[in-house]
C-alpha cells in the first residue's frame, strides 16, 4: 500500500462522510472506480478528469443560485461565483483564441440550445422578437406571440446526417432542435465516406438555411472549416460548429488552420469532457456580435448555473493550457491511427478506411454482426465501446451496423501505439469469434449473440493485464 497523499486522503475522507449517510452510494462510487480501472475504455466521448477537476465539483459552490452573468446576477452574494466563472471564461478565450466564452451550459445539448436561440434572436427580425429581446415579455400580446412563434419556428438548418456521423442535436426529430427547425442533412460520399463539399454547397444553395452546422459525433476525419464558412457565407447562413468531440484536439493545437473551427465559425459549441478532459458540461464560444445573446442563455433556455461545475471547468481549462496537454492531444490521434491500422491489418472494415482524429468506426457487418451484438460481446470481454450507425446503415439507429471506438481515455492512462495494436488484437478476437444468435422461435436476432465464455474470460484477463502498467488514478488509494 502506498503512503497516504493529499488525493488519497481527500477521496477516502469523502467516501467516509458519504458512507455515514448512505453506504450504498459510497459503495457504488468505489465500485465505479474499480470497474473503470479494470476495463479498456474505448468510448470516444468518455475520458478521465483529473483529481483536481473532480474535487473542484464537490464543494460549497453547489449551494449557490447564480442566475445571470458575471457582475449581473439576480441573486445577492455571488462574488465568489463571479470569480470562478470569470476564470473559466478567461481560460477558454485564451485556450481557443475566442473573442467570447460562455461557460454556463450544463451539457453539450444545452450549449447547442443556447447557440440556436442566440442565432435566432440575432437574425430574425420581428416586432415581437424585439420586444422579447429587451425583456418586455409582459407587453407581448397574443398576436405578438403568434408572430414570434411563426418567425422562430419557420427557420432552416442544414447539418450532417446521423448515419454519416452527425448528432441528434443538429436538427433531428427526437431532439428539440428537430422541432425548432425545418432541417435537411448533408451526407458523405457513398464511395469514400468523406464529406463532399461540392454537394454541401449544392444543398445549401437549394435549401438556403439560416444555420449551417458542422461538427460530428462519429466522423473519423478532419473537417475543412474554411470551406464550410465559405459555403455558409455564399447563402447568408450563420456558420455554427459543434466541436464537442474534438475540442481537445483544437485546444492541443492538433487541429489548426483550416481545421480549427474557432477562427472560421460565427459560433462554436462544445462539451468540456470528452477529449478536453474536464467535468461533464458545455460551453459556447462566439464572435462579439453574438455575445450579448449568448450571455442570455440563463434564463433563456438554461436553469440556474452550476457554480461547482464552472469551478471544475476553470481547473480543467487551466490544465489544458499547460504544454503537456498539446503532447496529450497529439498522442490521442497517434493512438487512434495505430488502433485503426491494427484493425485493418487484421481484416476489419473501417468507415472511410481509417481516421484523422480521435475515433474510428468499425463496420461489423464484415464479421456478420450487428452493432448491438458486437457492443455487448465486447463488453462481456472487458472492452467498453458503443454501437454506432454507419453511412446508409441497413440496421437503423438502434441495432446499427457499426462500433465506435476512441482513444482519449486510454491515452490519458498512458497507453501508446504498441498497446493500441494489442487492443486491436483483442477486439478482433472477440468479434471474429462472436456469431449471431436466434430468437426463441428460431428466427435470426439482431440483438442476441453467441460467444464462448472461455473466450470472453480470456480476453477480459488479457485486457486487465494490458492495463496493469497504466494505473488509473494511481495517486488515489481508497484502502
| Structure confidence by residue, pLDDT tens digits, 61-83 | 999 999 999 999 989 999 999 99
Give the per-residue pLDDT at 170.
76
Asked if the model's pLDDT at residue 183 lies above 90, the reply is no
Residues 284 and 267 reside in one and the same domain:
yes
Residue 128 zone, left/alpha/beta (φ > 0; ψ -120 to 50; rest): alpha
Coil, strand, or helix at residue 79? helix
Asked if the model's pLDDT at residue 271 lies above 80, the reply is yes
Written as nine digits, the cell of 435 is: 456469431
Asked if the model's pLDDT at residue 163 lies above 50, the reply is yes
CATH of residue 116's domain is 3.40.640.10
Q: Centre a 10 Å sphere on the Cβ of residue 418 and count the other Cβ atoms it contains.
A: 10
The domain total for the chain is: 2
Residues 289 and 354 reside in one and the same domain:
no
- Rounded Cα distance between 159 and 104, Å, is 25
Q: Are 44 and 351 in contact (CB under 8 A)?
A: no
Residue 21 zone, left/alpha/beta (φ > 0; ψ -120 to 50; rest): alpha
- Whether 19 maps to a domain, the answer reads no
Residues 310 and 422 reside in one and the same domain:
no
Asked if the model's pLDDT at residue 41 lies above 80, the reply is yes
Residues 249 and 382 reside in one and the same domain:
no
Mean pLDDT of the chain: 92
- Whether 472 maps to a domain, the answer reads no
Domain that holds residue 264: 60-320
- Rounded Cα distance between 365 and 374, Å, is 10
More confident residue, 247 or 162: 247
Residues 300 and 334 reside in one and the same domain:
no
- Whether 372 maps to a domain, the answer reads yes
Boundary-marking domain end, from 292, 320, 348: 320
- Whether 280 maps to a domain, the answer reads yes
Low-confidence winner among 25-34, 174-183, 251-260, 410-419 (lowest mean pLDDT): 174-183
Low-confidence winner among 151-165, 189-203, 229-243 (lowest mean pLDDT): 151-165
Boundary-marking domain end, from 320, 344, 361: 320
Residues 314 and 411 reside in one and the same domain:
no
Residues 210 and 248 reside in one and the same domain:
yes
Give the per-residue pLDDT at 1.
37
- Whether 43 maps to a domain, the answer reads no
From the list 164, 114, 134, 108, the residue with the least C-alpha distance to 267 is 114
- Whether 54 maps to a domain, the answer reads no
Written as nine digits, the cell of 400 is: 446499427
Give the per-residue pLDDT at 182.
82
Asked if the model's pLDDT at residue 100 lies above 60, the reply is yes
Residues 124 and 268 reside in one and the same domain:
yes
What is each CA distance from 109 to 15, 128, 175, in whole angstroms? 31, 26, 9
- Whether 474 maps to a domain, the answer reads no
Residues 163 and 298 reside in one and the same domain:
yes
Residues 268 and 378 reside in one and the same domain:
no
Average confidence (pLDDT) over 395-412: 95
Report residue 390's pLDDT band, with 50, 70 and 90 as the boundaries.
very high
Q: Which residues are catalytic?
A: 65, 67, 242, 271, 274, 280
Residues 301 and 431 reside in one and the same domain:
no
Q: Are 107 and 237 in contact (CB under 8 A)?
A: no
Written as nine digits, the cell of 438 is: 436466434
- Whether 150 maps to a domain, the answer reads yes
Boundary-marking domain end, from 283, 300, 320: 320
Residues 396 and 453 reside in one and the same domain:
yes
| Structure confidence by residue, pLDDT tens digits, 288-340 | 999 999 998 988 888 889 999 999 999 999 999 999 999 999 999 999 999 99
CATH of residue 370's domain is 3.90.1150.10
Q: Centre a 10 Å sphere on the Cβ of residue 348 and count the other Cβ atoms it contains.
A: 21
Amino acid at each position: 500500500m502506498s503512503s497516504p497523499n493529499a488525493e488519497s486522503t481527500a477521496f477516502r475522507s469523502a467516501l467516509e462522510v458519504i458512507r455515514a449517510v448512505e453506504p450504498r452510494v459510497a459503495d457504488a462510487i468505489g465500485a465505479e472506480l474499480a470497474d473503470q480501472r479494470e476495463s479498456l475504455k474505448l468510448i470516444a466521448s468518455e475520458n478521465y478528469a483529473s483529481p483536481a477537476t473532480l474535487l473542484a465539483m464537490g464543494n460549497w459552490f453547489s449551494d449557490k443560485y447564480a442566475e445571470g452573468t458575471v457582475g449581473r446576477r439576480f441573486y445577492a452574494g455571488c462574488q465568489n461565483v463571479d470569480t470562478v466563472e470569470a476564470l473559466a471564461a478567461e481560460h477558454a478565450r485564451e485556450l481557443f483564441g475566442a473573442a467570447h466564452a460562455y461557460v454556463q451550459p450544463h451539457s453539450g445539448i444545452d450549449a447547442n440550445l443556447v447557440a440556436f436561440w442566440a442565432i435566432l434572436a440575432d437574425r430574425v427580425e420581428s416586432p415581437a422578437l424585439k420586444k422579447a429581446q429587451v425583456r418586455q415579455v409582459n407587453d407581448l400580446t397574443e398576436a405578438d406571440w403568434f408572430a414570434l412563434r411563426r418567425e422562430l419556428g419557420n427557420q432552416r438548418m442544414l447539418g450532417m446526417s446521423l448515419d454519416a456521423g452527425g448528432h441528434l442535436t443538429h436538427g433531428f426529430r427526437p431532439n428539440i432542435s428537430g422541432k425548432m427547425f425545418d432541417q435537411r442533412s448533408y451526407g458523405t460520399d457513398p464511395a469514400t465516406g468523406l464529406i463532399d463539399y461540392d454537394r454541401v454547397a449544392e444543398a445549401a444553395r437549394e435549401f438556403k438555411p439560416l444555420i449551417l452546422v458542422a461538427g460530428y459525433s462519429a466522423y473519423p476525419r478532419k473537417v475543412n472549416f474554411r470551406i464550410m464558412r465559405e459555403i455558409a457565407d455564399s447563402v447568408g447562413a450563420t456558420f455554427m460548429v459543434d466541436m464537442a468531440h474534438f475540442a481537445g484536439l483544437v485546444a492541443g493545437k492538433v487541429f489548426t488552420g483550416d481545421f480549427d473551427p474557432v477562427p472560421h465559425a460565427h459560433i462554436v459549441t462544445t462539451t468540456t469532457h470528452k477529449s478536453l478532459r474536464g467535468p461533464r458540461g458545455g460551453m459556447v464560444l462566439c464572435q462579439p456580435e453574438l455575445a450579448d445573446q449568448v450571455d442570455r442563455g440563463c434564463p433563456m433556455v438554461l436553469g440556474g448555473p452550476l457554480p461547482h461545475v464552472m469551478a471544475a471547468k476553470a481547473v480543467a481549462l487551466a490544465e489544458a493550457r499547460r504544454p503537456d496537454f498539446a503532447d496529450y492531444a497529439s498522442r490521442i490521434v497517434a493512438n487512434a491511427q495505430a488502433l485503426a491500422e491494427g484493425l485493418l491489418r487484421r481484416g476489419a472494415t473501417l468507415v472511410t478506411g481509417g481516421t484523422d482524429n480521435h475515433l474510428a468506426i468499425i463496420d461489423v457487418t464484415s464479421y456478420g454482426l450487428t452493432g448491438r451484438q458486437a457492443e455487448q460481446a465486447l463488453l462481456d470481454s472487458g472492452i467498453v465501446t458503443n454501437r454506432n450507425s454507419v453511412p446508409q446503415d441497413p440496421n437503423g439507429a438502434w441495432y446499427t451496423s457499426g462500433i465506435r471506438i476512441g482513444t482519449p481515455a486510454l491515452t490519458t492512462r498512458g497507453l501508446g501505439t504498441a498497446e493500441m495494436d494489442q487492443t486491436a488484437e483483442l477486439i478482433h478476437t472477440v468479434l471474429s469469434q462472436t456469431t449471431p444468435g436466434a430468437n426463441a422461435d428460431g428466427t435470426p436476432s439482431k440483438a442476441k449473440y453467441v460467444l464462448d465464455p472461455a473466450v470472453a474470460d480470456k480476453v477480459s484477463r488479457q485486457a486487465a493485464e494490458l492495463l496493469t502498467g497504466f494505473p488509473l488514478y494511481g495517486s488515489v488509494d481508497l484502502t
